[in-house]
């Protein structure tokens, strides 16, 4: 039985005694066995451990007199994204053959909070190698198929999570977002995808910065209430972390009680043009906002999207090189081009030519952008855009050609300027398809993709609302107001 209701429904059935935890977990495992061959959304199952925990949860419930204090998602089966969300004793391969034998030694703080929320982990969702892409097509673990059309991608890097949730294999999935990796799959599959404010969810104990705060762990959702309840359950005011975010104090997600002043633009970051069909869909969404009484103001793009992205590639290169140095120590030998996909290898190699001065200037530039946008949000509640510049695209559409692969494999032989240009060229076509979701990561501000519209061929397309740091609650209030307008609600 596929899960076509949200995680809150499953939790309620367990609480009322209408569904046992063992039944819920068994259903998820059976779904994965039956349908994962078509989707390739799940890269690892932990069947024995999940069933053992389910039986323990059922026994605990049978002895419990007052169930009102149970964790909000007690007994709900969940897939972890296989990208740094580590669980002791379980593999964590990040879609990379290089890490096929890696077993986590301890739970990440994020996973600890997932367990504290009551979820039972049943496995890992498939990702592109090290999460570098807006599609999920790792050579080692294989491409993930879109539930609506196997010839399309569900996006990336949380593509396996999105496919599993949309198809109903499980009622809950985690995800992460370092440049749109929650919001892009949400747009492509018709799900809700919130990238929270920097510092909102747990980090560490192995890494407290996650690409200098640009990447954050959270989830994808079927409903606004799931998104709200999970954010409340996972949020943490983590004083030992590099980036601190006060907790949301509201106990309930209340309806919006005022119209919002919403900025929007038809301009596209980095000088690209808005797809004509996306523009039509965006206009339809704007009419919905207007009909709800919100004030819409057309503005120029507030930031230089091309420069922002160029700096992001440089930071990713440095962070990747540091990661590969650690992996090299782990396997006790140097890493070469045969160990990694060409894209991953090239990004790491470029990290070697970025100087400390380069890096310091980039982080200062990010701070200036953040300050600029925080001032922008003093005048506007929300900045609105499409989430993506098109719906889900065909499998392999942006796979590098052979000549590009060869250049990437010998990228270190080129001058620094040529190396940086190659990285831009490698991503440019795919970036044009998904250019709206990166700046929020650099600035640490929240943004949410909402499944508001569909294209002429009935494919989902997300609309993105972006706001100031700490305004996650406002974004979810807006999502709650808009939820009845979602085509599949």
Q: Which residue is catalytic, options 20, 53, 81, 108?
A: 81
pTM greater than the 0.95 cutoff: yes
Q: pLDDT grade, residue 65 (50/70/90)? A: confident
Query: Tokens 């523009």 belong to which residue?
Result: 279
Using DSSP, state whether 450 is helix, strand or coil: strand
Confidence of residue 485 (pLDDT cuts 50, 70, 90): very high
Tell me what the mean pLDDT of segment 262-288 comes to: 98
Q: Which of 108, 117, 157, 430 is catalytic?
A: 157
Q: Indicate whether 489 pLDDT > 80.
A: no
* 464: helix, strand or coil: strand
Report d(CA 148, CA 426) in Å as an integer: 28
Share of the chain above pLDDT 90, in %: 99
Is 265 designated active site? Answer: no
Cβ contact 173:41 at 8 Å: no
Element (H, E) at 231: helix 224-234
Q: How many CB atoms lie within 10 A of CB 431?
A: 22
Question: Do residues 155 and 184 touch, judged by C-beta distance below 8 A?
Answer: yes
Q: Is position 251 annotated as part of the catalytic site?
A: no
pLDDT at 229 over 80: yes
pLDDT band at 68 (very low <50, low <70, confident <90, very high): confident
Assess contact for 200 and 460: CB atoms under 8 A: no
The whole-number pLDDT of residue 66 equals 83
Give me the percent of the chain exceeding a pLDDT of 70. Answer: 100
Hey, what domains does the chain have and what are their CATH numbers? 7-257+448-485 (3.90.1300.10)
Does position 242 have pLDDT exceeding 80, yes or no? Answer: yes
Q: Nearest 5 degrees, angle CA 173-CA 175-CA 178?
A: 175
Give CA separation, 24 vs 82, 114, 122, 304, 332, in Å.
Answer: 22, 17, 11, 48, 43
**pLDDT tens digits, residue range 396-417?**
999 999 999 999 999 999 999 9
Predicted pLDDT at 161: 99
User: Cβ distance 382 to 448 under 8 Å?
Assistant: no
Helix (H) or strand (E) holding 427: helix 416-433
pLDDT value of position 191: 98
**Catalytic residue flag (residue 385):** no
Does 422 have pLDDT greater than 90? yes
For residue 212, count CB atoms less than 10 angstroms from its CB and return exposed for 0-12, middle for 13-18, buried for 19 or more.
buried
Bond from prior residue into 40 cis (ω within 30 degrees of 0): no
Mean pLDDT, the chain, as a whole number?
97
Query: pLDDT tens for residues 160-177?
Result: 999 999 999 999 999 999
Q: What is the mean pLDDT of residues 247-273?
A: 97
Region 413-435 average pLDDT: 98
* Catalytic residue chosen out of the listed positions 125, 136, 181, 430: 181
**pLDDT at position 219:** 99
């Amino acid at each position: 039985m596929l899960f076509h209701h949200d995680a809150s429904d499953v939790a309620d059935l367990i609480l009322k005694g209408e569904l046992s935890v063992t039944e819920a977990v068994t259903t998820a495992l059976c779904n994965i066995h039956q349908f994962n061959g078509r989707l390739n959304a799940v890269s690892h199952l932990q069947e024995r451990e999940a069933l053992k925990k389910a039986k323990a949860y059922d026994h605990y419930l049978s002895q419990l007199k007052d169930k009102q204090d149970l964790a909000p998602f007690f007994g709900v089966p969940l897939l972890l994204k296989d990208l740094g969300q580590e669980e002791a004793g379980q593999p964590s391969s990040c879609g990379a053959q290089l890490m096929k034998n890696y077993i986590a030694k301890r739970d990440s703080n994020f996973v600890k909070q997932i367990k504290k929320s009551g979820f039972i982990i049943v496995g890992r969702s498939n990702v592109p190698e090290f999460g570098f892409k807006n599609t999920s097509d790792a050579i080692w673990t294989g491409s993930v198929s879109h539930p609506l059309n196997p010839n399309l991608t569900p996006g990336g890097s949380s593509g396996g999570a999105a496919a599993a949730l949309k198809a109903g294999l499980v009622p809950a999935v985690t995800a992460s977002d370092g440049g749109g990796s929650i919001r892009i799959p949400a747009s492509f599959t018709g799900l809700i995808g919130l990238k929270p404010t920097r510092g909102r969810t747990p980090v560490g104990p192995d890494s407290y910065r996650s690409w200098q705060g640009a990447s954050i762990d959270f989830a994808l959702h079927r409903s606004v209430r799931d998104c709200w309840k999970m954010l409340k359950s996972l949020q943490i005011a983590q004083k030992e972390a590099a980036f601190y975010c006060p907790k949301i104090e509201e106990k309930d997600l209340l309806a919006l009680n005022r119209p919002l002043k919403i900025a929007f633009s038809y301009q596209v970051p980095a000088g690209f043009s808005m797809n004509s069909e996306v523009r039509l869909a965006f206009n339809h969404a704007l009419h919905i906002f207007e009909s709800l009484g919100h004030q819409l103001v057309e503005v120029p793009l507030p930031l230089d999207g091309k420069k922002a992205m160029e700096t992001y590639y440089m930071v990713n290169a440095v962070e990747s090189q540091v990661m590969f140095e650690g992996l090299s120590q782990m396997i006790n030998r140097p890493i070469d081009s045969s160990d990694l996909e060409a894209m991953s290898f090239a990004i790491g190699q470029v990290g070697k030519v970025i100087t400390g001065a380069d890096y310091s200037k980039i982080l200062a530039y990010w701070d200036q952008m953040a300050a600029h946008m925080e001032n922008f949000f003093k005048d506007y509640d929300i900045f609105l855009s499409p989430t993506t510049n098109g719906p889900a695209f065909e499998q392999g559409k942006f796979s590098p050609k052979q000549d590009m692969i060869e250049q990437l494999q010998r990228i270190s032989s080129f001058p620094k300027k040529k190396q940086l240009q190659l990285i831009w060229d490698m991503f440019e076509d795919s970036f044009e398809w998904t250019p709206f979701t990166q700046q929020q990561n650099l600035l640490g501000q929240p943004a949410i993709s909402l499944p508001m519209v569909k294209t002429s061929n009935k494919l989902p397309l997300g609309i993105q609302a972006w706001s100031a740091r700490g305004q996650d609650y406002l974004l979810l209030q807006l999502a709650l107001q808009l939820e009845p307008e979602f085509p599949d609600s």
